[in-house]
Every structure is written in structure tokens, then in C-alpha cells.
Amino acid sequence: MSDQIPDPPEVAREVFTGEAWSRAEAFAELLAGPGVVRGLLGPREVPRVWDRHLLNCAVVAEAVPRDVRLVDIGSGAGLPGLVLAIVRPDITVTLLEPLLRRTVFLEECVESLKLGNVEVLRGRAEEFAGRREFDVASARAVAPLDRLLKWALPLLREGGELLAMKGERAAEELADAEGQLRSSGVRTAELVSVGHGKVEPPATLIRVVAGRVPEGPRKTSRRKDRPSRGRQTRGQ
């Protein structure tokens, strides 16, 4: 499948600079090869791996503050989490994914790309509520916003941000989640457009800033974090 990867568009060199360029090329090969074979990326997505996946995820970095701890919920094939780790070496990224076959792929990618700012953590978001805390949570095609809020907000510090990649239904999802947003005590929730001049159409995010966490959802646990295969991958 990797022979079907198109040449990167010129704008890709503007987005992926320095060491990020070679890592992006290598990640494209991993997605189009092992990623397709293992069912993490559809074969029909290979010709669109640069514009629909790598670039579309990379521009999310425009909305990510510097030097933050980011958790990518339901990371899947590492989109957008691995791409953000590639373009933003200043941040630390936790790829949170419950399925073993996906965490194995993610571990192999982290090792192959020599990313020292990434850990792979196997589990569901609700398992780590109150046990891990992050500045930013990202998610792409994981769940509708009202459900995603229940998973992401307990992982965020007060003032932390959820960046949910959404498509044409972003405004509708935001309206549908109004009740959940209100009951969760969030500070703000808005649509953000990123990637102007780099991807067409620009990527649409729903950005939610966490407020004070309501009493009840967070519960402490004595269980230790459960990295995939019993270890963290290239942790800090």
C-alpha cells in the first residue's frame, strides 16, 4: 500500500520543519503499510494520507499552548496525537487507547520515529479520572461531544482545554451538548478554525475550557497506571 502514497504537497514542508519532516514521511509510510494491514487505516485513505490525515492533524497544533501535557483520547492510529508530538517537541503527549492491537502499533511508531516526548497508555479515559491530569485533551472521530465531555473533563486541570476535531456538524454538536456543558461547569465552549492556507477546508475544532470539576466524577484509586504491555513507551 505504501507505493500508493502521493507526493507530499508543498505546504507540508512549511508545516513539518526540521526533524519533523523526516518523521512525518516515516509516519506516512507506517500508516500506509502496517497501519492498513492491521486495520487502523482504510486502504482508500492511503492516497489522502497527507492532506486528510497528517496535515489536517498537524494544524491542530496552532491551538495548542506551549509546554503542555496533552492526552490524545482514543488515539487509534495516532491521529492527531502522534502528529502533534512530531510537530511540537515542546509538549509531552500521552496516547490513550484501550485496544491492544492499536497500542502495539503506537508503541512501534514511537520507537521507530524516536519520539522521546510520547508515552503510550492502554486503557479507557474513565479509568484514569482523578489519577492523571493534563493541560490539554485532543480527540478525533471518537464520540459525539456530549459523550466526549464525560471522558475528557475529568482528565483536565481546571482551566485545561479539550480540543475536539469535528467536521461539518461541529456547530450542531456544540448546540446539542449545551446541557452537558452547563452541568459540567465549563468556562467556555466555542468553534475554532485552524489551518487556513494550509488545508482546505480549514480544520474545525470545538474548544472547551474546563472549569471547576463538579463534586463526584473524580475518584481516587490505588490502582497504578496501566501502560500497554506493562510499560511506558519512551516516556519523559
| Nearest-angstrom CA–CA distance, 142 and 80 | 11
Q: How would you classify the pairing of strands 188-194 and 156-166?
A: unpaired
Q: Is 126 assigned a ligand-binding role in the annotation?
A: yes
Residue 81 CA: distances (Å) to CA of 54, 176, 186? 11, 26, 23
CA distance linking residue 119 with residue 108, whole number of Å? 11
The torsion angles phi and psi of 156, rounded to 5 degrees, stand at: -100, 145
Residue 125 marked as a ligand binder: yes
Q: Is 140 annotated as a binding residue?
A: yes
Q: Which amino acid appears at position 98 of this protein?
A: P
Strand order across the beta sheet in which 134-140 lies: 118-122, 92-97, 69-73, 134-140, 156-166, 203-209, 188-194
Three-state secondary structure call for residue 191: strand
Known binding-site positions for S-adenosyl-L-methionine: 74, 79, 125-126, 140
Binding residues: 74, 79, 125-126, 140
